[in-house]
Structure 1
Amino acid sequence: MALESRLDLKLSQKLILTPQLQQAIKLLQMPQIELAQTLNNELVENPFLEEEIEEPEMDGQIVEDIGASVSVDDTEIPLEGLMNFSVDEYFEERGSDGRDLGYFAPDIEEQPSYEIFFSKKLDLYDHLLWQLRLSNAPDRVRIVAEVVIGNIDEDGYLRATEDELISSTDANIDTVKSAVELVQGFDPPGVGARNLKECLLLQLKALNLSGTLIEKIIVNNMEDLQKKKYNNIARQYNSPIDDIIAAVKIIEGLNPRPATSFSSVETNYIVPDVFITKSDEGYQIILNEEGMPRLRLNNSYRKLLLRKESLTKEEREFLKEKLRLATELIKSLDQRNKTIYKVSESILKFQRDFFDKGVQFLKPLNLRDVASDINMHESTVSRVTSNKFLACSHGVFSFRFFFSSAIHSDNGQVSSTFVKDIIKRIISEEDPRKPLSDQMITDMLKKQNIIIARRTVAKYREELKIPPQNQRKIYE
């Protein structure tokens, strides 16, 4: 077969996302805090962007008084006077009117920085390292123990095996075991454990409860303990059920995550993207712009770009590119706000009864309904409702809260979110000594004309992270 080169024409259609469209999509799905950080970064990187700051309005008379009180001396200082004016004379003149020169005065002590008054929160690594330095262990054990401390996670568990510690320290197995045992004796009790069972046993050792019934239950009956099969445990050890319950209460008081008090994870608070408020004129939709920089184009750089003779070719191309990026960012941000407003307005339209009366009047709704209502693609609505929150008189809700499937009842269709709320309320009002089974909850829903299967109740209960009947039971 001979090889040959030739040209072929082929006609095809492709969907290509332009950089501007990619940026618009990226901004659209950003939550409030992340968007504010992105805009602040753009303010630093793009010289054409500046933040629009509202200046406080001043009364006209005040402005005239200020202008009258300030006198401007236009007298030109001779060059000889400037040349002969010494630094000492300058500060003597500045200080002659009673103004404090601060750090220039010899009798003024330097004030300490405010930064020294802020203490760093002690983390787990520093806390364990401090105890290691106070220990009397041999040097070879202390070296391995420092590596052990470096392999402890934020919950307090050792995430390195003995073989990994041996390979990283070139120590023998006895030294590694001694180092692990040394760290496991540090505060907080339970730190350095390899699993939950070892963590609880270390805490029992610190409480001088080793060798008791509590230790036997942790070693042999973790599965029965999880499922609250206390009668099985009582029969196994031939002990009264009251003793088993007393032992279980002590176990429940132990900490499965001993290092939580040293956690450096910051709490992230929910910031609503949209506020819906009710007034005499009806509902109002307000986009949350708190902490969000208001962008505008910098006129100085725009004028500089017009003066072509003062710029090189590379400088002019750089400024043109930055101007294009700044313009596209402002347009994309404006389009994002309009899209979020339209989606919020559509949700208000479909879920008007919810905003008027509460959760029990939430209606079934899907993304397709909103997309058809505002003449947008379903994927666009999905991006808008992702990781965003809406605040109203009933609380702060995720946008996805308003979208739920329909469940048929004798009174028509009801929202699955409403059914979950009923299940949650039924379980919260049950007797903890005699918790309700999924079938009992199904029967109670049937009395309210909501017909769903038992497995659906179990599914909704698991989505609500509510444990099953036997794990909700409380023994007294």
Structure 2
Amino acid sequence: MSAEIRQDLRLTQQLVMTPQLQMAIKLLQLSRLDLIQQLHQELEQNPVLEQTLDTEKGNLQETPAGLAADDTENRKDNTGDIDWQTYIEEHAEASRIRHGFESGEEEETESDLSLTKKTTLTDHLTWQLHLSDFTPKETDIGTLIIGNIDENGYLMITVEEIASEMNINKDEVEAVLKKIQQFDPVGIAARDIKECILIQATFLPDKNRVIIEEIVNKHLNDLEKKNYKKIAKALNVHISRVIDAVKVISHLEPRPGRAFGEDESQVIIPDVYIQKVGNDYVILLNEDGLPKLRISPYYRDMLAKNGSASDNVKSYIQERLRSAVWLIKSIHQRQRTIYRVAESIVKFHREFMDNGIGFLKPLILRDVARDIGMHESTVSRVTTNKYAHTPQGIFELKYFFNSGISKDDGSNIAAESVKERIRKLISSENPKKPLSDQKISKLLKGSGIDIARRTVAKYREAIRIFSSSERRVRF
């Protein structure tokens, strides 16, 4: 059989991660402070971008957010000749950021801008994630895991929930989680205090690690009660070895993530305000402090003349102009997405907005993603490091996403609501006779919430409340 050379024409679809798309994704997941810093950096690097002054407000068009994005959605991103006059006229005015809080206080803006950028726990873990030997799929799993680690370093959702969100086997999630638990800081991504200690124990010398693992795995109750003699007898070792192990445990970090948040306290400025007006809720984006951007009139005039600049200069300005338009488009898209997610959250959590944490319902990313017609990963990005000012206080948007527990009447109650009930029960207990986890379980079951003692213990640890024996000692 002779070799044959043929040409085949095949039509395929694939997503190309262009620099513009990378920019859009990056802006979407930035916090408010990081966004402001990013925009100032773009202003320094791109001469085509220009920041308007407050005195120019009267010249700004009241264009709905996203108009520039919509107008450029289908424009071909080629490097060929461009009708500069039409191109510039279309984007010169529309490519400006509309601010919903024109009358915001300058003091708040200056305070926001003067805050120094600090590496967050999420940044630190994500950096390690991308330096590790992960497949693209494992990186996606790792990103979701890291996005659900709280400020103290604990994983706040279960492996089963992550597997369900990504429609994968939970063993795949567990494998990635085990790798992330080897990241710095030591003890990160644990699901409870016990696991946090055990993770840290793996980094200890063998002579300490073995006995500590034995104590934590099998004698945690005796450890809490300081019953060292009983532990020594059970392990068949001298009590001095137990005391030495306890000293090591006392120096382990119960909150491995706090090193990334205790050096400075920053005032949280909400990204969105949710206010009740009559019987309805109004959502207002807080764009105060965000630089107002537009295409520089100087470069607009230079390109409009279409002959006074060399080809190299035109090519450079063309590339910078394209980058500027994409930046403004991405900002509009970011703000519009935050608004839509907040709007959906209000729809699902109307009772919470009216009555408080006790009325929070179970909600997962998929629910909101389907409601607004976006991908779950987009919702995940937009809810991280974004805050909402609600009638019940200021909350991170990701706070509204949590699992549920079944009630006797067949309905579900959010895990955060159950944690709040546990907190209230403990706050009103008799200090001399603190409630045990079993007693709390019975009290909640009396309210129609079917919850096991082990789950009560898990939630109690999640809200950083000591066991009944430790609470009794403290008083």
* TM bucket normalised to smaller: 0.5 to 0.7
Q: How far apart, in 1, do the equivalents of 2:438 and 2:291 lie? A: 54
Q: Is contact 2:222–2:228 with CA below 8 Å preserved after alignment?
A: no
Larger gyration radius, structure 1 or structure 2 = 1
Mark the CA change 1:264 to 1:17 in structure 2 (over 3 Å): closer, same or farther.
closer
Query: How many Å separate the matches in 2 of 1:328 and 1:475?
Result: 58
Secondary structure of 1:473 counterpart = helix
Secondary structure at 1:23 match in 2: helix
* Structure 1 equivalent of residue 380 of structure 2: 382
**1:229 maps to which residue?**
225
Question: Are positions 1:302 and 2:300 aligned together?
Answer: yes
Q: Is the 8 A contact 1:28 1:383 kept in 2?
A: yes
Q: 1:26 to 1:5 in 2, by over 3 A?
A: farther
Residues 255-303 of structure 1, C-alpha deviations (whole Å, 9 max, x = no match)? 999xx9xx99333332211111122373211111122111111111111
- The CA deviation string for residues 297-327 of structure 1, in whole angstroms up to 9 with x for no partner, is 1111111122343222221111111111111
| 1:328-379 residue CA offsets vs partner (Å, 9 max, x unmatched) | 1111111111111111111111111111111111122111111121122222
Distance 1:463 1:473 in 2: 19
CA drift at 1:406: 2.2
Q: Which has the higher contact order (CA 8 A, sep 6+)?
A: 2
**1:98-247 correspondence to structure 2 within 5 Å:** 227-229=223-225
Q: Give the counterpart letter for 2:351 in structure 1.
A: D
**Alpha-carbon distance between aligned partners in 2 of 1:363 and 1:475, rounded to the nearest angstrom:** 34
The count of corresponding residues between Structure 1 and Structure 2 is 296
Alpha-carbon separation, structure 2, partners of 1:298 and 1:443: 67
2:447 maps to which residue? Answer: 448
**Could you tell me how far apart the structure 2 residues matched to 1:300 and 1:5 are?**
58
Q: Which amino acid letter does the alignment assign opposite residue 393 of structure 1?
A: P
In 1, distance between residues paired with 2:220 and 2:450? 34
Question: 2:453 is aligned with what amino acid?
Answer: R
- What are the Cα deviations for residues 3-53 of structure 1, in whole angstroms up to 9, with x where unaligned? x99676484543323332222111111111111110111111111111222
Q: Please, what is the CA RMSD of the aligned residues? A: 3.7
Deviation per CA, 1:123-179: give whole Å up to 9, x if none.
xxxxxxxxxxxxxxxxxxxxxxxxxxxxxxxxxxxxxxxxxxxxxxxxxxxxxxxxx
Aligned letter for 2:54? E
1:472 maps to what in 2?
471
Note if 1:270 corresponds to 2:268: yes
Moved more, 302-311 or 387-396: 302-311
Provide Cα deviations, 1:378-427, integer angstroms capped at 9, x if missing partner. Answer: 22111111221111121111111111222111242211110011112222
**AA of the residue aligned to 2:29:** Q
- For residue 225 of structure 1, report the CA deviation from its aligned partner: 12
Identity rate of aligned residues, in percent?
44
Q: Does 1:50 align with 2:46?
A: no
The answer to whether the Cα contact below 8 Å between 2:273 and 2:390 also exists between their aligned partners in 1 is yes
> Could you tell me whether the CA contact under 8 Å between 1:226 and 1:471 is conserved in 2?
no
Q: Deviations along 1:430-468, whole A, 9 cap, x unmatched?
A: 233332221111011111111111111122122222232
Partner residue, 1:279: 277
Task: Quote the residue 1:292 is aligned against.
Answer: 290
1:472 Cα deviation (Å)?
A: 2.4
Equivalent residue runs for 1:30-109 within 5 Å: 30-55=30-55
Instruction: Please name the residue that 1:424 is paired with.
Output: 423
Q: Give the secondary structure class of the aligned counterpart of 1:276.
A: strand
Gaps of 5+ in 1: 59-222, 237-250
Structure 2: give runs of 5+ residues left out of the alignment: 59-218, 233-246
- Classify 1:410/1:228 alpha carbon distance in 2 versus 1 (closer, same or farther; 3 Å): closer
TM-score, structure 2 as length reference: 0.55
Superposed displacement of residue 471, structure 1: 2.5
Cα distance in 2 between the residues matched to 1:225 and 1:373? 46
* TM value normalised by structure 1: 0.55
Give 3-state SS (helix, strand or coil) of 1:474's partner.
Answer: helix
